[in-house]
Amino acid sequence: MELEPKFETSGDGIETVTLTRAEFDWLVEQAEDAADLAAAYEGLKSLQNDGAIPAEVARAVRDGKHPIAAARAYCGMTQTDLAAAIGMTQPAIARLEASPPGTGRTDTINAITKALALPRWLFESRSNDNAGKQQGRETDDASADPVAGGIWRAGPGTNADASPSMVREREAGTFISERSGKTAGKRDKPTKSKRV
């Protein structure tokens, strides 16, 4: 659209610009599109830095499956396959999967991370018992909604909430659904996954 603004100066020296309603609406739409694009780039950068996991793995972990078992099943591996890939025995993998997430030596967790090609934070401790430790990550279940795009994000520490980029993405989705005339489904406030 080509803008044809009218520039005017009032008697008291105030400069104004007059646009048609169509021009104004177009400018507002362009600004909103630019904000949505910036939020998308920020979200992509965050995913590249922190890593993301498939929604299928996120749902399985959220439903109580051990992260190693969920990731292994997603990759189509048995305990024996994973054990062979990292130089361990099948009973050792079974013991890890029966233990709380994050259990195991650092080199073992690193080997599992490499063998399953998923971010390390997935296999770290999610214990809420010691809020002072920043080694674990909490996960935000809201982003594991399969309708919303299927990526599970991590936040730092044990008291993580939705990241600013996730809030912007949710707001952008609401805006888009309002603009299209479609009613967006109501979502609950993001909750943190808790293991018992």
**In what helix (H) or strand (E) does residue 119 lie, and over which residues does it extend?**
none
Q: What is the sign, positive or negative, of the torsion defined by CA atoms of 162, 164, 165, 171?
A: positive
First and final CA of the chain: distance in angstroms? 57
Q: Helix or strand or coil: residue 126?
A: coil
Model confidence, pTM: 0.46
| Residuewise pLDDT in 10s, the chain (196 residues) | 888 899 999 989 999 999 999 999 999 999 999 988 888 878 777 766 667 788 899 899 999 999 999 999 999 999 999 999 999 999 999 999 999 998 889 999 999 999 998 888 888 877 543 433 333 444 444 444 433 444 444 444 333 344 444 444 444 444 444 444 444 444 444 444 445 4
Q: If 0-12 CB within 10 Å is exposed, 13-18 middle and 19+ buried, where does residue 31 land?
A: exposed
Domain 54-180: give its CATH architecture: Orthogonal Bundle (1.10)
Q: Copy the structure tokens of residue 56.
A: 């299928």
DSSP code at position 76: T
DSSP code at position 157: B
Give CA angle at 75 (101, 89), nearest 5°.
Answer: 60
The candidate with the shortest Cα–Cα distance to 119, out of 57, 60, 63, 164, is 57
